[in-house]
Structure formats: C-alpha cells, structure tokens
Amino acid sequence: MVKSAENDHGENRKQQEDDVILENTPINFTMSQTRKNNSSEGETKPQTLFVNKFLRGSKAESREEKNDLQTTDSQAGDWIQKAATSDAAKPLSSETELRSSVEENEQFLQKLGEKDVDKCLDLNNCGLTTADLKEMVALLPFLLDLEELDISWNDFVGGTLHSITQQMHLVSKLKILRLGSCRLTTDDVRALGEALEMIPELEELNLSWNSKVGGNLPLILQKLQKGSKIQILELVDCALTSEDGAFLGQVLPVLQSLEVLDLSMNRDIGGSLNSIAQGLKSTSNLKVLKLHSCGLSQTSVKILDAAFRYLSELRKLDLSCNKDLGGGFEDSLAQVVMLKHLEVLDLHQCSLTADDVMSLTQVIPLLSNLQELDLSANKNMGSSSENLLSRLRFLPALKSLVINNCALESETFTALASVIQTGHLAKLRKLDLSYNDSICDAGWTMLCQKVQFLKELIELDVSLRPSNFRGCGRWFRHLLCAVTKLPQITEIGMKRWILPASQEEELEWFGQDRKRSIRFDHGGFQEADFPLSY
C-alpha cells in the first residue's frame, strides 16, 4: 500500500545524530549479555529516586518480577563476599556495617533481575540529579566487574565527577567510559586525567560535547602510557584549540590500538593538522577518521595524503563540511590509492571545484571496496561530474550514492543512467539525487527508465529544493513502472513535484494494486494547488 506523506520533514540536510540523542527517551540499564527492563509498578516498598528514574516507563510484569526477586535473593551473599575480599574496596569498620551497606543496595540490585548486572551501567540521558549520582557512587564498590559506564547527557555530572573518579580504582576492569555532554568543568577534566591510569583496560573514551575539554586536553591524556588499549577516542565539539591538536599529535603514537578517532566540529585544530597527521602515521590500526567541520584548508588535503600511506586499514574517512578544502584535491591524492579497504568516503559540502572533481575521477574508481560515497552540496560540480559518475562502474560494492544539491545537468544523468543499465551498480540501496532542479524532464525520464535495474534499491530521493515547485512530466509514469520491478524499495522522496489529477489517480491505483508498503513522499501537492505552475 502506498502512503502519501502529508508533511515536509525539513528541507535541510538529513538530521544530525545529535537530534536523536537529545530526545527524552526512557532510561535503560544495560547488561552485557541481556537487556531487560523490569517493572517497578507492583512494588509496595518505597523506592529511591535513582531506582525510579531508571525504571520509568517499564511495564508491570508482577509474576516474572516475583520470580526475579526470589532468584536474586541468594545473590546478596555473593555481593558481600565480593566486597569483603576486594583489596581495592574501601575498608568498613565492621561486618555489620558491610551488611548494612549491602542491604541498602540490595533492593536496587534485585530490581535488575540479571546475573551479569555488574558488567554494564548505562544511564545515558536520564536526568540524573546530584543525589542520584551519590547513590550511583555508593553502588560502585559492588560492581567490581563493571566494564561499561555511560552517564552521557546528564548535566549534573558537571562539577561532581571527582566523586566518581575517586572510585575508579574499584572498577579497574572498566573498558568503556562515556561522558558526552556532561558539562564537565576544568576540575572534572583534571580529575579524569588522574583517574585514567587506574583503569588500564580502557578501550573507549567519549568526551564529546564538553567545551571545557578544549584547552585542557593535556590534563586528560598526559598520563597515557605506551601500550594503552584505547581503541575509540571521541572528542566531538569539545572546543579543542590548536595547542590541543598539537598535543594530540604527540600522544597518538602511544595509542597503538586506536581504531576510531573522531575530532569533528573542532574548528581550530586545522592549524595543528601537521602534528596530528604526523601522529596518525603511528596508528596503523585506525579504521575510522572523522574530521567533519574541523577548519581544514586546501593545504590540509596534501598534509593528510602524506599520512594515508600508513593507514591501510582505514574503512571510513569523513572530511565533510570543510568549505575551505575546495581546490585542495588537485594533484594531492597520490596516496589515497593506498586506502584499499576504504568503505565510506564523505566529502559533502567541501566546495569541490571542477579540478577537484577531475582529480577525484582518477582516484575514486581505484577504491574498489567503497560502499558509501557522499559528494552532496558541492554546487560547482555540475557537468564536470559526468566522467566521475561514468566511472562508478568500477565500484561494484557501492550501496549508497548521495549527490544531492550538486547542480547536476542532464548529461550527468545520462552518464549515470548508462552505468545503471549495465548492472555495475546492482548493489546500490540508496540513491539521493534531490535538489538538482536544473534537470529537464528528458533527463528524469532517462533515469527513471533505468532505475528498474537497481534490484536492491531501498530508498530513492528526487525531491526539489524548498523554493521550487514543478509539475511531474511523463517520467513519473516510467518511475511507477520501474517501482513494480524493484522488490526492495520502500521510500521514494519527491517533495514539491506537483501531481496532475490523472497522475494522482494513477498513484492511488498503484497503491491499491500493490501488496508491499511503499511510501511516496511528495507532500500532497496537486495541480489544483498551483494552477499557474506550468
């Protein structure tokens, strides 16, 4: 059945991941092997504010809960023994105090109903208060096997992190620490740096969206030693300074296990790219490098290119939204061919010039494992992209092609249609050609006649820009015909294309005749709404 979308969900580039994170979702207390929410609605005993917070939104399952309570009653002794035998735990004055402490946490532990509850504590985006944090800190001595701690997006963590870092010696097995958007203060940053040496097993550190990290990065990373196990380091939008970037370049050789480095949205580190690139030469295991909106310039391309020969394991490269990169790709991509395993290349909104496109035309076809290519919002590509698109035939693994808002011309569409027809893009699942308003009806017709060869296509977007409305030509009938031959497709974006009454009826008939659910998102615009559009 076809669903016609009634609302335009925004006209800018696809929403950033930040928007999803900011949503007020229920709290999940995550276990390493099983994730299960247990009800608090059937309880008659008073619950602490902390327990109520992470259990909010759960459904009542009283019978199962009773069984869980019975099962976990016997675990209190295990917690007592674990706390009593730990050399790292703070000593209590008597066994009575120890049992009292356990009893205070016992109800909280029973509500979890899982044997491996001490492996993962996920309190991301749950509005923790200062009192909640104190309860969490009190729980840490009983989580000696804790491997993951996520308290991201909790504003009240800021200024109180020292109370947590003081207990880090109790959770020395910690592998994942996420503190994104916690409003960390300079004192928090300093306390964290001192605590990192207490958790030598750490593999992931996320400090994104904490502006006080900027200018203080050495306080965090200065005690990292050679042999560090950190694999993921995320410092998105941390207001990093050029000096921070230079220091990071010196630390990178210590991070031999590093696989993911995300420095996105730190606009001042472009000036220290030389140091960072030099350090990258020592991170041969790096798989993901994100430098989205980092103030990179034309010379940055050449600097990075020198490091690429040492990054043969790289899978994802994001240089998007660096508008001053334009013109920097000319004769500066000699080492990109060394990225034999590259799967994702994002160069959207980089002000690519015709010469840049010519250079990319020589290099991109050599990346035979490429699965996602985003060149969108580069308005100077225009007709210069014809040769590039024709050479996509050398990318048999390509699954996503995003070239919206590139001022493409009909000749470009012809080149793309020829590649599609020959079956070289058979694995393509997403094709975004939106906001290329200069394409004439003949160009759209050519493309729609060939779309039927994209048998794995799931999403197609041919929407017009927000300021433009046009009537659908004969190409729309070719599109409907092609859709009948695409078994996987579920989403077709065609915002601001105006459907004549006859085509609206044809679309309705198509929806009644099809068994699959396909969403045609055209905003409900009909010819009657724009009588003077033709």
Q: Report the alpha-carbon distance of residue 426 to residue 449 in Å, rounded.
A: 15
Place of tokens 């840490």: 140
Q: Which strand (E) or helix (H) includes residue 441? A: helix 441-450
The pLDDT tens digits for 106-127 are 554 453 344 455 789 999 998 8
In which residue ranges of the chain is pLDDT below 70? 1-117, 511, 513-514, 524-534
What fold is seen in the domain 408-526? 3.80.10
Question: Tell me, what's the pLDDT at 306?
Answer: 93
Question: Tell me, what's the pLDDT at 44?
Answer: 34
Q: Report the alpha-carbon distance of residue 291 to residue 339 in Å, rounded.
A: 17
pTM of the predicted structure, to 2 decimals: 0.81
Nearest to 150 by CA among 207, 109, 216: 207
Tell me if residue 178 falls in helix, strand or coil.
strand
Q: Are 50 and 132 in contact (CB under 8 A)?
A: yes
The pLDDT tens digits for 415-448 are 999 999 999 999 999 999 999 999 999 999 999 9
Question: Tell me, what's the pLDDT at 213?
Answer: 98
Q: Are 42 and 60 in contact (CB under 8 A)?
A: yes
Q: Report the alpha-carbon distance of residue 235 to residue 206 in Å, rounded.
A: 6
Distance (Å) of CA 157 to CA 23, 178, 194, 437: 19, 12, 17, 48
Q: Report the alpha-carbon distance of residue 265 to residue 262 in Å, rounded.
A: 9
Place of tokens 């010469």: 355
**Percent of the chain scored above 90 by pLDDT?**
62
Distance (Å) of CA 383 to CA 93, 207, 422: 79, 42, 21
| Domain map (residue ranges) of the chain | 408-526
Question: Tell me, what's the pLDDT at 35?
Answer: 33
Q: Which strand (E) or helix (H) includes residue 430? A: strand 430-432
Question: Tell me, what's the pLDDT at 523?
Answer: 72
State the chain's mean pLDDT as an integer.
Answer: 81
Q: Report the alpha-carbon distance of residue 143 to residue 117 in Å, rounded.
A: 8
Question: Tell me, what's the pLDDT at 106?
Answer: 56
403, two tokens: 């070239």
Contacts of 299 (CB under 8 A, 6+ apart): 328
